[in-house]
Structure 1
Amino acid sequence: MKKVVIVGGGISGLAAAYTLQESKAQIEYTLIEKDARLGGKIQTKYDDGFVIEEGPDCFISTKPSVIQLAQKIGLTHHLIGTNDEHKGTYIYSDKRLHALPEGLMLLVPTKIVPFALSPLISWPGKFRMGLDFVLPRKKEQEDETLHSFVVRRLGHEAMNKIAEPLIGGIHGGAPETMSLKASFPSFLDMERDHGSLVRAMLAGRRKAKKRKPSPREGIPKSHFISFKGGMGELVTTLENKLEGQVLKGKEVTRITSTDTGFRVEIAGEEDILADGVILAVPAPQAAALLETIDPQGADLLHATPMASSATISFAYKSREVPQAKSFGVLIPYVEQTKMNAVTFTSVKWNHRVPGEEYTLLRVFFGGAKKSHYASVPDEELLGWAKEELSSILGITATPERYWIHRWIEARPQYTIGHLDRMQELTERLDKTPGLVVAGGSYRGIGVPDCINDGVKGAEEIIAYLGK
């Protein structure tokens, strides 16, 4: 029987393990995770009825891999959508809160009246965005930054007040360095096919209306979806389904090539001889393990920058935070605040607090432009959060409880040249058959992307061993 080692027990590694297990191939696998728990950046804490997300709190429903996996492991009955009766997000701009206009898709207005009436963008800014209809499409197809693209199509005001907080925040990235092809290739397709982002969005809406949606029994009709018990439910259920060997709290220290495959060295454990290896770890860790096999490939991985972030979840008595009536607030970088955003967690999702008397908020710090904020002492971080919750939202009450979590150098940045580097890495790894990388550092940062990458990595190994 063939032996595969999966290094990394995040959602990519778990998806890879489950794919190997469910395949018809005769493969024995060992999953190795250096932390005492599985799940990687998906971490859900349960504390006296509070459900605290320390990593991602949801996934995008238009990418099917999470839903498909949930169906396979019997978890669809726990899927939940957002509370759309409170639907809405605010942008803090010029010391005021502005509702995002209805019909704004990503950063493109598709409904004229709500956008025209919104005070978020000035009239000169609205006129500049309207020029998207007549500006010529870009002839060359070389990569450019998100900042360059948005300013070219929609102008500086749209960049600063909409694109940077709304889209840049998803990646925790700096629009000035983010690769458009790696992060949002659909924008380039829209410009190429329609010559205008607005025309492309309107055409997409017309097609969507004509299509009859395929029935998805038990799947919430929501753009963002989570689980009743938080995203950690996906990890726990998947872990309980695994039948292979799982080593937690064990670190892989070295991987070398052998005549028949690979030798995987583990601190405090016997070496494992494997026919295939899946490196389902972030780029810096993958680079360190790749050094002995392919130093040039390791250099390609070292070129992926990593940003830091931190979150604080606050529990308040609901009567003390009447401001919590939407999904939350995004804060553009140009406002020069310490925090980046606030999510009204228990307003956005059900099943997050022990009773209606409580409201749960989540405050975000860090990202590519503010990574240093994520490392300040707890008291300083708490002070910033309380001060800005007061000045921006008028929240002056003392929270009942709070939870702090940090992700230091843990958010991969897809900078210009990322896709070229990943293509070169793939070509190099082709020369070492049986070794693949998978995860958020490579081909997509969202939970669906990570699951998809883990599945594809496992399928590549299965195909190789099948030869």
Structure 2
Amino acid sequence: MELLDTLIVGAGISGLSLAHALQKEATSASSLKILVTESQGRVGGNITTVTAEGFLWEEGPNSFSPTPELMKLAVDVGLKQELIFADRKLPRYVYWQKKLQPVPMTPPAMIQSQLLSFPGKLRALFGALGFVGPAMGAGLSQQRDEETVSQFFRRHLGTEVMQRLVEPFVSGVYAGDPQQLSAAAAFGRVAKMADVGGGLVAGALLSAKNRPKKIPADPNVPKTRPGELGSFKQGLKALPEAIAAKLGDRVKLNWHLTRLDRTERETYIAVFSTPDGQQEVEARTVVLTTPAYVTADLLQSLQPEVSSALQAFTYPTVACVVLAYPQSDVKGKLVGFGNLIPRGQGIRTLGTIWTSSLFADRAPAGWQTLSSYIGGATDSEIGNLDSEEIVREVHRDLSRILLKPDVPQPKVLAVNVWKRAIPQYNLGHFDRLQQIDEGLKSLPGLYLCSNYVGGVALGDCVRRGFDRAREVGKYLQNKQSDS
């Protein structure tokens, strides 16, 4: 049995980014033996791009913020000419009291916004300037002084900002419950600003002042501006497929990890179920990029404490519903990113991305594609509905918000029910991560790299993959020095 340097389990964007970084850093003199295994028959994990009948749509992540790491990766794997960006000036909307209200993105826009009342704006201004009471209350002591997203933003910016801006954002990013999510975990930067400056404005200014100097930009990487969202001409799947193509036969599909053991030689034996029967692999290091619940099962016998902490992560059910309508069925021309819906507005859908308005060539002429998300932590019942029932719910909601009266049934492009969609950064998140880190000390050479740690966005996944690659490389170097 050949001894691998690194076994990476999972060919989602985290695992592929990690493998790419390891391969790139390895010189020809000290090339690493790497294997990436994937239980599905394709790479990309939750990235699910589909094309049919002249439409192109996403059933998982829909776009990305162009972080430096992600942009560099795209260029490295030959996708520079495939990058596309939505106009950052396109408005985002919140559906409030039967009207689509643009989200205020600047102080002048906030002043003029009809989304918040005058008292609500005044409350937000005073809170942002630091006129904020201390975190207190009986409930807080039961939470070990950890504030929920709801508690934090109500205290700092008031109830209106919480309900009309933060809550729909939480639904859009985490499909989460603001009364369960940890403010420090889910909104780490904002929470740190409040700690540093006493108020959000002062904290933002101090954070900007103390920010490390930017590394000179790579001239080969296209420049982007804040607020832009990116994709590729052929959809997000272009990125994992391009990375996998570079890795070649180092990627094995339909390999399902059934057992992981540690040897007396301080290596790991992984047993896989594959199309060619059972396969065993031995590796000096192993990186598990699998979801928390899968990783928990794999580590149950190796490290029960880590397994227990991983089992505590919750993943609510979310359905992605992609519907197409003739442009004539839509109220006016949709110009914008899309709309989010706070709870309590009589609308079950969490939000809708105006897909064919965001990126060009995503729908045939005369058609509008709308990608809606429904379910999440505040609506667990969505998992009990069949596809037709889910479409009816979404179509009814769209009829109230975006469509003309008495519009016929849409063209249904997709109903993808993600039974376990997005890991929730709920109260106790950092305690769980600490328990995991402590437990992994007994398993040197084993690493976890998934979106339940350090952010759920694609840019977070790429950055995390690069970071883990450095850790793995350093461990292998140290082991080589010791031998």
- Indicate which of 126, 135, 158 corresponds to 1:131: 126
**Alignment partner for residue 328 of structure 1, among 322, 338, 351?**
338
Match of 2:24?
Answer: 22
- Whether the 8 Å CA contact 2:130–2:201 is kept in 1: the answer is no
User: Structure 1 residue 238 and structure 2 residue 243: aligned?
Assistant: yes
Give the paired residue count.
Answer: 455
Q: Residues 205 and 375 (structure 1 numbering): CA distance in 2 closer, same or farther, change over 3 Å?
A: farther
User: Residues 213 and 320 of structure 1: is their aligned pair in 2 closer, same or farther, counting only changes over 3 Å?
Assistant: farther
SS state at 1:310 partner? strand
Counterpart pick for 2:426 among 408, 415, 432: 415
Aligned to 1:156: 159
Instruction: Please give the secondary structure, in 2, of the residue aligned with 1:443.
Output: coil
Shift of 1:305: 1.1
Q: Which amino acid aligns with 2:23?
A: Q
**CA, structure 1 residues 459+154, in 2 after alignment: closer, same or farther (shift >3 Å)?**
same
Counterpart mapping for 1:375-386 below 5 A: 375-386=384-395
Match of 1:249 in 2: 254
The one-letter amino acid paired with 1:80 is: I
The question of whether the paired residues in 1 share the 8 Å contact of 2:11 and 2:36 is answered with yes
Q: CA deviation at 1:399?
A: 2.3
* CA deviation vs aligned residue, 1:75-119 (integer Å, no higher than 9, x gap): 12211111346x11221112222222241xxxxxx33xx323322
- Asked if residue 447 in structure 1 is aligned to residue 458 in structure 2, the reply is yes
Unaligned runs of 5+ in 1: 104-109
Whole-angstrom CA distance in 1 between matches of 2:192 and 2:88: 30
CA distance in 1, matches of 2:258, 2:119: 57
| 1:425 Cα offset (Å) | 1.1
Aligned to 1:309: 318
Deviations 1:400-453 (A, max 9, x none): 442111211131001112122212312221221110000111221111111222
Report the 3-state secondary structure (helix = DSSP H, G, I; strand = E; otherwise coil) of the residue aligned with 2:420.
Answer: strand
SS of 1:14's partner is helix
Counterpart CA distance in 2 for 1:67 and 1:255 is 34
Structure 1: which amino acid aligns with 2:291?
P
Residue pairs, 1:286-435, within 5 angstroms: 286-321=295-330, 322-353=332-363, 355-395=364-404, 396-435=407-446
Give how far 1:211 is off.
Answer: 9.6
Alignment check: 8 A CA contact 1:33 1:251 kept: yes
List runs of 5+ in structure 2 lacking aligned partners. 137-143, 479-483
**Separation (CA, whole Å) in 2 of partners of 1:308 and 1:436:** 27
Q: CA deviation at 1:269?
A: 2.1
Native 8 Å contact 1:30 1:246 kept in 2:
yes
Q: Is the contact between residue 58 and residue 226 of structure 1 (CA under 8 Å) also seen in structure 2?
A: yes
Matches of 1:435 and 1:212, distance apart in 2: 31
SS of the equivalent of 2:290 reads coil
Where do 1:38-53 residues align within 5 Å? 38-53=43-58
**Distance of 1:143 and 1:301 partners within structure 2:** 20
Equivalent positions of 1:247-286 (< 5 A) are 247-260=252-265, 261-267=267-273, 268-286=277-295
In structure 1, distance between residues paired with 2:250 and 2:121: 58
Work out the CA distance in 1 between the residues paired with 2:79 and 2:308: 40
1:47-91 CA-to-partner distances (Å, cap 9, x unmatched) read 132111011111122x32211211211212211111346x11221
1:186-233 per-residue CA deviation (whole Å, 9 max, x = no partner) reads 11222133332245557889999x999958653443532221211111
Moved more, 456-465 or 287-296: 456-465
Contact 1:33 / 1:248 at 8 angstroms: preserved in 2?
Answer: yes
Q: 1:138·1:192 contact (CA, 8 Å) conserved in 2?
A: no
Q: Tell me which residue corresponds to 1:106.
A: none
State how far apart, in whole Å, the 1-side matches of 2:168 and 2:317 are.
Answer: 17
Distance 1:84 1:456, change over 3 A: closer
Partner amino acid for 1:48?
Answer: E
How far apart, in 1, do the equivalents of 2:4 and 2:217 lie?
Answer: 39
Give the alignment partner of residue 79 of structure 2, picking from 75, 81, 91. 75
Cα displacement (A) at 1:163: 0.4
**SS class of match (2:323):** strand
TM-superposition CA deviations, 1:365-403 (whole Å, max 9, x none): 011111331441011111111111112223424424421
Residues 142 and 168 of structure 1: CA distance in aligned 2, closer, same or farther (over 3 Å) = farther
Equivalent residues of 2:329, 2:403 under 8 A apart? no
After superposition, where does 1:64-103 map in structure 2 within 5 Å?
64-84=68-88, 87-103=90-106
Check the 8 A contact 2:285/2:472 in 1, yes or no.
yes
* CA–CA separation in structure 2 for the residues paired with 1:266 and 1:419: 32
TM-score, length basis structure 1 = 0.90
Match of 2:140 in 1: none
1:190 maps to: 193
- The 3-state SS of whatever aligns with 1:273 is strand
